[in-house]
Amino acid sequence: MENNTIMNITGVHKYFPGVHALSDVSLDLQRDEVHAVCGENGAGKSTLMKIIAGVYRPDDGLITLEGQPFVVHEPNEAYRKGIAIIYQESSLFPDMTVLENIFIGHEIRKPVLRGLRSPQMIDYRAMREKANAVFNRLGISVDLDRTVRTIGVATKQMIEIAKALSFDSRILILDEPTAALANREVDALFKTIRSLKSEGVSMLYISHRLDEIFEIADRVTVLRDGKHVATERVAATDRNQLVSWMVGRSLDNLYPKEDVEIGEVIFEAQSVSLRGVLEDISFNARRGEIVGISGLAGSGRTELALSLCGLVPPDSGTIKLNGKAVRIHSYREALEHGIAYVSEDRQVYGLVLPMTLKVNITHKAIRQITNLFSVINRGKEEQIAAEYMHRLAIKAPDSEFVVNKLSGGNQQKVSVAKSLAVEPEVLIVDEPTRGVDVGAKSELHRIISELAKSGKAIIMISSDLPEIIGMCDRTIVLKRGRKMGELLRNEMNQEQILHMAL
Amino acid sequence: MVRIKPTRELSLAVLLAALIIFLSLTTNFNTVSGIYSFLLAASPTIVAAIALAMVIFTGNIDISAGTISGFVAFTTGYLFRAGVPMLLAALAGIVVGVALAGLNGLISVKFRVPSIVVTLAMTMVHIGAYATFLPGSGWVENLGPGFTWFGRGRLLGVIPYAFVVAMLVAVAMMWVAKYTRFGRSLYAVGGNAQAAVYSGINPDRTVIKVFFLEGALLGISAVMRATTRSEIMPSVFIGRELFFIAAALVGGVSIFGGVGKLSGVVLGSALVYLLTVTMIYLGFQDYYQFALQGTIILLAVFISSGDFSRLKRFLRPGTVGGTQ
Ligand SMILES: Nc1ncnc2c1ncn2[C@@H]1O[C@H](COP(=O)(O)OP(=O)(O)OP(=O)(O)O)[C@@H](O)[C@H]1O
Ligand SMILES: [Mg+2]
């Protein structure tokens, strides 16, 4: 056993100003093992991974790689020691092509001239070949010359994965690689993980989707509040055990949906079309109702949401609120009509990362906290921020904390809080629980349910089918920009939805 | 695999061609001396705009590029007057360029001061130094043909030596930008500094290096310009940075970093210069020239971007804006 250990982490501490992110954490990684790391949002998982990847240095503790002390000062050194990482937050360059993104920082080079000390130049052909090989392995084809800015979240995530795979590493760290992926891509990823494992690559795998851990991992380590709680073989534990290690209590219901009296139609979309993307989509949402939008990635789910809330005004079609046609050509108009949207991409569209929690939460609700002269009422701002930090259990020292220092899941909560704070009549949520831990997920679901109960309408996009089935009264299914049909709550099951979506 | 896309380079080339046709039809531009003087005047700007573009790729800027050029010119001329062989004098001038630009980079990175602040302050320091420390405020005259042979020399009667050097520099730098890790990391650092770190790039080192490189290119550019005349006055370089930056931006470089091509920058420099020439041919006075040129640069950036969707959106009210 002992000499099968590739990396050993003992007694690691990490302090950030005001936060003791890791406290005496130990973990050992075996050769060709998939080792899952679990814990609530802000438990310290990403911080630990970033220490291994050379982004942060531990304040105390010892790490060894194959028995040798492992000290790295920057990611570059970690890569050279055979450690590759898929970061939780996007590390792509929007203005570069897919190919450039995959190899940036570790481009394949060849000598300019034949000769020993010849300078090196980038070998685009070799990079192309390798990139194609990696995408083949992942079972997808991606245009290598396309600019990343124009690519959807799921494909971007696959590019991040391809980037990490292009390193030929001994240790691969995957920090929530599947948060943005649908089933099919997850399957391809898992196949790749298994074959890497058989080639002797060790992996650290982080996910809030517990089913995945039971499917892919050999062992699991649980962190809570920066402390090590347990390490166990996956086969020797179960879901409830895992949840109680993570949350410190057991959790009864992930989908706390309430029985609600459904009222009159409040929101109606008629024949909404967007050239090349959406075709003639009609549906409505009634007071008290949660309406799901399902479909594969690329089926037009997000585009539909964007056109309903004025961010990408549709080419044709009508939107009616309370039976009256309204003109929504910008997001501002949507907000004025009481429609709010939570983006699927919190980092790019959802948040102003370098600003504080307070500013972010009240950003859309700015009208509610300003007076006649557009001066911000500080007390009110603080009060709203505090209310949502409390309701969504956002883990931060105070409301002045800068959002990009929050853990990924807590950023997601802020992104949702922004839209809740405007107290919308119609709330459109796009992958609302992406990257959120089980406890917080149940809590977010409860908040959404309560909102519906108070007579609002909710439109929910999610690739997580159990979430759609658990929460929605009705779901419409999209396929290639067309509506394939609607399913009522009692008709919904995974097979039926997939059958319509495929 | 050659595909023609409606890129910025293409629209720039079209614009350039249109202007040249206009000039040849209406003026005596289309003569040996017309072409010669255009190429001669454009060459230093091409090299300096490339220098600036590479700095701007990383999300930085060098406002002091003009005044640094002044020091380079002075050093070269002064040493030549003092009897140093021309080649050595030019080399010394370039070294001064490297040192001054490198200093900008070092200060900005080491003290975490944005480069716009550092180089703005440096511009003032430089201007002050011209008057205070340089003998005769840096005025050097009667340099003679031993000094101007490079600047005034021409190949085949039309092509200035300076232009040949400018093209060599351009090709070399395009190669660096596309085929070296350093070149790619310029875009990475300017595109997303955090992601650059995550990709194993050291942004600090990259930025320092690019400032040193910029200094060398500014040095070459300043020697080119200085050697066209028999006297040197560093203060004429004050304000040149506006043209360098404008040329880079017209060429499609994003002022926010991470985006741009050096081929575009070459075309952009030519365009900015051609505009100057056009003004002169059309007989505008100096001060009109500046105002008109500014306006035309704005237009050029806009037209060459080839992106008219903004204009359309602008003309259709009610659809602009909307942050989430
Ligand atoms: N750069 C930083 N500065 C200050 N605090 C930080 C920084 N990075 C992380 N933290 C804090 O450290 C704690 C652990 O964060 P970490 O990102 O490791 O959580 P996580 O377990 O990955 O959570 P999630 O599941 O939400 O991704 C959080 O309280 C976070 O706010
Ligand atoms: Mg995390």
* pLDDT tens figures, B231-266: 899 999 998 898 899 899 888 898 888 989 999 999
Asked if the structure places residue B84 within a domain, the reply is: yes
Same domain as A480, residue A390: no
Distance from CA of A92 to the nearest CA of B (A): 6
For ligand 1, say whether the CB of A406 is within 6 Å of any of its atoms.
Answer: yes
pLDDT score at B1: 41
CATH number at residue B298: 1.10.3470
The per-residue pLDDT for range B3-55, each reduced to its tens digit, is 455 567 777 788 788 878 877 777 776 777 778 888 888 999 999 999 999 99
The per-residue pLDDT for range B179-212, each reduced to its tens digit, is 999 999 999 999 988 899 999 899 999 999 999 9
Same domain as A375, residue A479: no
The single-letter code of the amino acid at A336 is: E
Asked if the structure places residue B310 within a domain, the reply is: yes
Q: Rounded distance, CA A422 to CA B21, Å? A: 58
Q: Rounded distance, CA B15 to CA A497, Å? A: 54
The per-residue pLDDT for range A4-15, each reduced to its tens digit, is 899 999 999 999
Asked if the structure places residue A252 within a domain, the reply is: no
**Range(s) of the domain holding residue B85:** 8-315
Q: Is A77 exposed, middle or buried (0-12, 13-18, 19+ CB in 10 A)?
A: middle
Asked if the structure places residue B81 within a domain, the reply is: yes
Residues of A in contact with B187 (CB under 8 A): 93, 95-96, 100
Same domain as A318, residue A182: no
Q: How many domains does chain B divide into?
A: 1
Mapped to the 3 state alphabet, what secondary structure does A159-180 carry?
Answer: HHHHHHHCCCCCEEEEECCCCC
**Domain's final residue, options A422, A451, A474:** A422
For ligand 1, say whether the CB of A410 is within 6 Å of any of its atoms.
Answer: yes
Lowest average pLDDT, out of A97-101, A433-437, B271-275, goes to: B271-275
Q: Is residue B315 scored above 70 in pLDDT?
A: no
For ligand 1, say whether the CB of A44 is within 6 Å of any of its atoms.
Answer: yes
Asked if the structure places residue A348 within a domain, the reply is: no
Lookup result for tokens 């075709």: A279
pLDDT average, residue stretch A91-104: 94
pLDDT score at B99: 97
Distance from CA of B304 to the nearest CA of A (A): 18
- Nearest ligand 1 atom to alpha carbon A226: 14
Across the interface, whether the CB atoms of B200 and A55 are under 8 A apart is answered: no
pLDDT average, residue stretch A162-190: 88
Q: Is residue A300 scored above 50 in pLDDT?
A: yes
Distance from CA of B196 to the nearest CA of A (A): 8
The per-residue pLDDT for range B55-72, each reduced to its tens digit, is 999 999 999 999 999 999
Averaged confidence pLDDT in chain A? 89
Question: What is the whole-number distance in angstroms between the Cα of residue A347 and the centre of ligand 1?
Answer: 15
- pTM value? 0.83
For ligand 1, say whether the CB of A432 is within 6 Å of any of its atoms.
Answer: no
| Residue B259 in contact with partner chain A when CB distance is under 8 A | yes
For ligand 1, say whether the CB of A41 is within 6 Å of any of its atoms.
Answer: yes
Using most ligand atoms within 8 A of CB, pick from A347, A407, A415, A444 the residue to mutate for ligand 1: A407
Same domain as A285, residue A403: no
pLDDT score at B306: 55
Same domain as A7, residue A155: yes
CATH number at residue A75: 3.40.50.300
Give the dihedral sign, CA B285/B290/B294/B300. positive
- Tokens at residue B295, please? 């306006």
Closest CA to B45 of B288, B323, B270, B286: B270
pLDDT class for B319, splitting at 50, 70, 90? very low
pLDDT class for A1, splitting at 50, 70, 90? very low
Same domain as A124, residue A181: yes
**Range(s) of the domain holding residue A446:** 265-338+424-501
Nearest residue CA, atom 28 of ligand 1?
A42
Mapped to the 3 state alphabet, what secondary structure does chain B carry?
Answer: CCCCCCCHHHHHHHHHHHHHHHHHHHCCCCCHHHHHHHHHHHHHHHHHHHHHHHHHHCCCCCCCHHHHHHHHHHHHHHHHHCCCCHHHHHHHHHHHHHHHHHHHHHHHHHCCCCHHHHHHHHHHHHHHHHHHHCHHHHCECCCCHHHHHHHHCEECCCEEHHHHHHHHHHHHHHHHHHHCHHHHHHHHHHHCHHHHHHCCCCHHHHHHHHHHHHHHHHHHHHHHHHCCCCCECHHHHCCHHHHHHHHHHHCCCCCCCCCCCHHHHHHHHHHHHHHHHHHHHCCCCHHHHHHHHHHHHHHHHHHHHCCCHHHHHHHCCCCCCCCC
Asked if the structure places residue B324 within a domain, the reply is: no
A28-32, B10-14, B295-299, B301-305 — most confident range: A28-32
Same domain as A459, residue A367: no
- Chain B residue with CA closest to A125: the answer is B179
For ligand 1, say whether the CB of A19 is within 6 Å of any of its atoms.
Answer: yes
Distance from CA of A85 to the nearest CA of B (A): 9
- Nearest ligand 1 atom to alpha carbon A40: 25
Same domain as A394, residue A494: no
The per-residue pLDDT for range B114-152, each reduced to its tens digit, is 999 999 999 999 999 998 898 888 888 888 888 888 878
For ligand 1, say whether the CB of A45 is within 6 Å of any of its atoms.
Answer: yes
Q: How many domains does chain A divide into?
A: 3
Asked if the structure places residue B69 within a domain, the reply is: yes
Chain A interface test: which of B56, B199, B202, B309 (most A C-beta within 10 Å): B199
Chain B interface test: which of A46, A96, A307 (most B C-beta within 10 Å): A96
Question: What is the whole-number distance in angstroms between the Cα of residue A192 and the centre of ligand 2?
Answer: 22
User: Which member of B197, B318, B324 has the closest CB to residue A341?
Assistant: B324
Distance from CA of B119 to the nearest CA of A (A): 25
Across the interface, whether the CB atoms of B192 and A92 are under 8 A apart is answered: yes
pLDDT score at A173: 95
Asked if the structure places residue A259 within a domain, the reply is: no
User: Which member of A104, A330, A331 has the closest CB to residue B199?
Assistant: A104
- How large is the C-alpha radius of gyration of chain B? 20
Same domain as A386, residue A280: no
Helix (H) / strand (E) containing A7: strand A5-16
Asked if the structure places residue B2 within a domain, the reply is: no
Angstrom CA distances, A313 to B212, B312, B321, stand at: 48, 14, 12
Q: Is residue A22 scored above 50 in pLDDT?
A: yes
- Chain B residue with CA closest to A102: the answer is B199
Nearest residue CA, atom 17 of ligand 1?
A407
Q: Is residue B324 scored above 50 in pLDDT?
A: no
Same domain as A284, residue A269: yes
Q: How many residues does chain B have?
A: 324
Q: Is residue A440 scored above 80 in pLDDT?
A: yes
For ligand 1, say whether the CB of A46 is within 6 Å of any of its atoms.
Answer: yes
- Chain B residue with CA closest to A89: the answer is B195
Question: What is the whole-number distance in angstroms between the Cα of residue A461 and the centre of ligand 1?
Answer: 27
Q: Is residue A36 scored above 60 in pLDDT?
A: yes
Across the interface, whether the CB atoms of A122 and B184 are under 8 A apart is answered: yes
Residues of B in contact with A160 (CB under 8 A): none
Residues of A in contact with B7 (CB under 8 A): none
Same domain as A130, residue A198: yes
Closest CA to B258 of A188, A29, A102, A149: A149
Residues 237-256 of B with CB under 8 A from A: 254
The per-residue pLDDT for range A374-402, each reduced to its tens digit, is 788 888 888 889 999 998 888 888 888 99
The per-residue pLDDT for range A332-343, each reduced to its tens digit, is 899 989 999 998
pLDDT average, residue stretch A81-98: 92
First to last CA, chain A: 46
Nearest residue CA, atom 12 of ligand 1?
A21
Q: Rounded distance, CA B207 to CA B210, Å? A: 5
Q: Rounded distance, CA A149 to CA A136, Å? A: 22
Lowest average pLDDT, out of A65-69, A176-180, B11-15, goes to: B11-15
Asked if the structure places residue B3 within a domain, the reply is: no
The single-letter code of the amino acid at B293 is: Q
pLDDT score at B304: 58
- Nearest ligand 1 atom to alpha carbon A43: 21
pLDDT score at B175: 96
Residues of B in contact with A93 (CB under 8 A): 187-188, 191-192, 195, 258
Q: Rounded distance, CA A401 to CA A17, Å? A: 10
Judged by its nearest atom, the ligand closest to the C-alpha of residue A437 is 1
Q: Is residue A2 scored above 60 in pLDDT?
A: no
Asked if the structure places residue A454 within a domain, the reply is: yes
For ligand 1, say whether the CB of A20 is within 6 Å of any of its atoms.
Answer: no
Nearest residue CA, atom 7 of ligand 1?
A405
Asked if the structure places residue A458 within a domain, the reply is: yes
Judged by its nearest atom, the ligand closest to the C-alpha of residue A411 is 1
- Chain B residue with CA closest to A306: the answer is B324
Angstrom CA distances, A201 to A21, A22, A49, A219, stand at: 28, 26, 16, 15
Same domain as A193, residue A48: yes
Across the interface, whether the CB atoms of A96 and B188 are under 8 A apart is answered: yes
Q: Is B98 exposed, middle or buried (0-12, 13-18, 19+ CB in 10 A)?
A: buried
Nearest residue CA, atom 27 of ligand 1?
A408
Asked if the structure places residue A302 within a domain, the reply is: yes
Question: What is the whole-number distance in angstroms between the Cα of residue A37 and the centre of ligand 1?
Answer: 14
- Chain A residue with CA closest to B201: the answer is A105
